């Protein structure tokens, strides 16, 4: 099968495996006190151009949920897009980790939170004990529909959120894809635009099983470390997670892999632009093919997901760092031949 299901079906990058092998020498202090874990703050601080606190966890869901639980009380609510991963694809993990905080949903094209809708939605919350209180905004970069936020767009949302006393979380499961898609720095796309904490994705872009939670203000870390331990996310052999996070930045694969997957996706988008249901931006391509064409592609051995509610006729193709060129060639050809 030619796989376009997701970037999480990809293998692990050689650079990551190599770094793991190199770290595998002799004893190391357990539970995050090893020398790899101790370097995280510095290496990520350099990447982002400011002091940060960085912690490894084993999944994007854990990263998102722990970040939210640290900054949102149980009686708070997290404003987020109705199609956000934290709302649709984590089986209620944010509610579990926060002790029952609520997600309040906002709309916007391309799964991007609309500033106007955010402002309107916030009007519903009153500062009394009868209702949950807005405490966080969570945005996804790049979004669940492949779109990207520009720094100014993030800044606009963050301004609204901060004015209300809320903190801003970025789900950056595909952050590298969003970063290389724009002529901006990691700093401009995060803390300079008002992001307070982010889930920094590594796995989808070549990693194995470690993601990072990055706090842009050390004071916000609060009781994060207790919560992480309590969630079973503090690893005894912590070096094997941390070294992935280090190699991801230090080897440069964050950029190389993201550029490659974006470029491959662009070829797909350009092969059949008439079907695009979202403007092309990163490594995900959304098309309204209709069920007969979807069936035809499946019959030809292409693996991909239908999108939206059953029967919508929409589908999604995702390219990963290791999608074979040959598979992309085949898909482009197949798309062009569809009647």
User: Cβ atoms within 10 A of the Cβ of 301, count?
Assistant: 11
Q: How far is the CB of 292 from a copy of itself (least distance, A)?
A: 20
User: Cβ atoms within 10 A of the Cβ of 318, count?
Assistant: 27
Residue listed under structure tokens 């706090």: 215
Which residue, 36 or 149, is less far from a copy of itself as judged by CB? Answer: 36
Show contacts with a copy of itself in window 236-255 (CB under 8 A): 236-237, 240-241
Show contacts with a copy of itself in window 101-120 (CB under 8 A): 101-103, 105, 120
Build a one-symbol-per-residue string for 49-78: x at contacts with a copy of itself by CB under 8 A, - elsewhere. Answer: --------xxxxxxx-xx------xxx-x-
Q: How many residues of this chain bind a copy of itself (CB under 8 A)?
A: 80
Contact call for residue 227 and a copy of itself (CB under 8 A)? yes
- Please select the residue that binds a copy of itself; options are 39, 96, 107, 220, rule is CB under 8 A: 96
Q: Which two tokens stand for residue 79?
A: 């404003």
- Strands 197-200, 211-215: pairing kind: antiparallel
CA geometry: angle 214, 218, 224, nearest 5 deg: 65
- Please select the residue that binds a copy of itself; options are 145, 228, 260, 266, rule is CB under 8 A: 228
Judge whether 143 and 171 are in contact, CB under 8 Å. no
Contact call for residue 329 and a copy of itself (CB under 8 A)? no
Q: How far is the CB of 274 from a copy of itself (least distance, A)?
A: 27
Show contacts with a copy of itself in window 296-315 (CB under 8 A): 309-310
Show contacts with a copy of itself in window 186-215 (CB under 8 A): 203-204, 208-209
Backbone angles phi, psi at 250, to 5 degrees: -70, -30
Question: What would the DSSP string read from start to end of 208-276?
Answer: SS-EEEEESSGGGGTTHHHHHHHTT-S-TTTHHHHHHHHHHHHTSHHHHHHHHHHHHHHHHHHH-GGGB
Q: How far is the CB of 110 from a copy of itself (least distance, A)?
A: 18
Candidates 43-51, 84-92, 186-194, 290-298: pick the segment binding a copy of itself (CB under 8 A).
84-92
Spell out the residues 6+ positions from residue 305 whose beta carbon is closer than 8 angstroms to its own. Answer: 5, 6, 315, 316
Q: How far is the CB of 244 from a copy of itself (least distance, A)?
A: 10
Q: How far is the CB of 151 from a copy of itself (least distance, A)?
A: 28
- Please select the residue that binds a copy of itself; options are 52, 55, 70, 95, rule is CB under 8 A: 95
- Please select the residue that binds a copy of itself; options are 50, 88, 159, 256, rule is CB under 8 A: 88
Distance CA(258)–CA(333), nearest Å, equals 23
Residue listed under structure tokens 């300079």: 192
Q: How far is the CB of 211 from a copy of itself (least distance, A)?
A: 10
Candidates 43-51, 156-164, 218-226, 280-288: pick the segment binding a copy of itself (CB under 8 A).
218-226
Which residue, 74 or 218, is less far from a copy of itself as judged by CB? Answer: 74
Show contacts with a copy of itself in window 12-41 (CB under 8 A): 12, 17, 20-21, 24-31
Burial of 118 (0-12, 13-18, 19+ CB in 10 A): buried
Q: How far is the CB of 142 from a copy of itself (least distance, A)?
A: 16
Instruction: Tell me the sheet residues that pair with 199.
Output: 171, 213
Q: How far is the CB of 140 from a copy of itself (least distance, A)?
A: 16
Contact call for residue 288 and a copy of itself (CB under 8 A)? no
- Residue 121 CA: distances (Å) to CA of 43, 100, 126, 245, 310: 38, 20, 11, 37, 28
Type and span of the H or E element at 80:
strand 76-81
Nearest partner of 141 among 81, 97, 69, 51, judged by Cα: 81
Show contacts with a copy of itself in window 121-160 (CB under 8 A): 123-124, 129-133
């Amino acid at each position: 099968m030619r796989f376009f299901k997701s970037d999480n079906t990809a293998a692990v990058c050689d650079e990551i495996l190599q770094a793991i092998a190199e770290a595998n020498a002799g004893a190391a202090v357990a539970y995050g006190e090893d020398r790899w874990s101790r370097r995280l703050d510095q290496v990520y601080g350099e990447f982002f151009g400011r002091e940060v606190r960085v912690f490894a966890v084993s999944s994007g869901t854990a990263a998102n949920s722990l970040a939210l639980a640290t900054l949102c009380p149980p009686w708070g609510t997290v404003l987020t897009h109705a199609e956000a991963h934290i709302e649709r694809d984590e089986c209620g993990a944010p509610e579990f980790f926060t002790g029952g905080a609520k997600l309040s949903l906002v709309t916007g094209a391309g799964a991007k939170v609309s500033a106007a809708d955010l402002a309107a939605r916030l009007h519903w919350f009153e500062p009394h004990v009868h209702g949950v209180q807005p405490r966080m905004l969570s945005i996804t970069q790049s979004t669940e529909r492949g779109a990207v936020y520009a720094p100014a767009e993030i800044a606009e949302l963050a301004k609204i959120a901060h004015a209300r006393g809320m903190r801003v979380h970025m789900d950056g499961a595909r952050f590298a894809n969003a970063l290389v898609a724009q002529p901006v720095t990691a700093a401009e796309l995060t803390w300079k635009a008002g992001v307070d904490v982010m889930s920094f994705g590594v796995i989808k872009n070549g990693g194995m099983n470690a993601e990072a939670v990055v706090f842009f203000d050390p004071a916000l870390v609060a009781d994060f470390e207790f919560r992480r331990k309590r969630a079973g996310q503090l690893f005894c052999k912590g070096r094997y997670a941390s070294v992935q996070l280090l190699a991801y930045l230090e080897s440069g694969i964050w950029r190389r892999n993201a550029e490659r997957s974006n470029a491959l996706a662009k070829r797909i988008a350009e092969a059949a632009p008439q079907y695009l249901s979202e403007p092309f931006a990163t490594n995900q391509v959304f098309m309204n093919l209709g069920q007969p064409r979807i069936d035809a592609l499946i019959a030809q051995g292409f693996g991909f997901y239908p999108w939206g509610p059953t029967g919508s006729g929409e589908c999604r193709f995702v390219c990963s760092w290791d999608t074979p060129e040959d598979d992309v060639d085949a898909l482009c050809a197949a798309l062009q031949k569809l009647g």
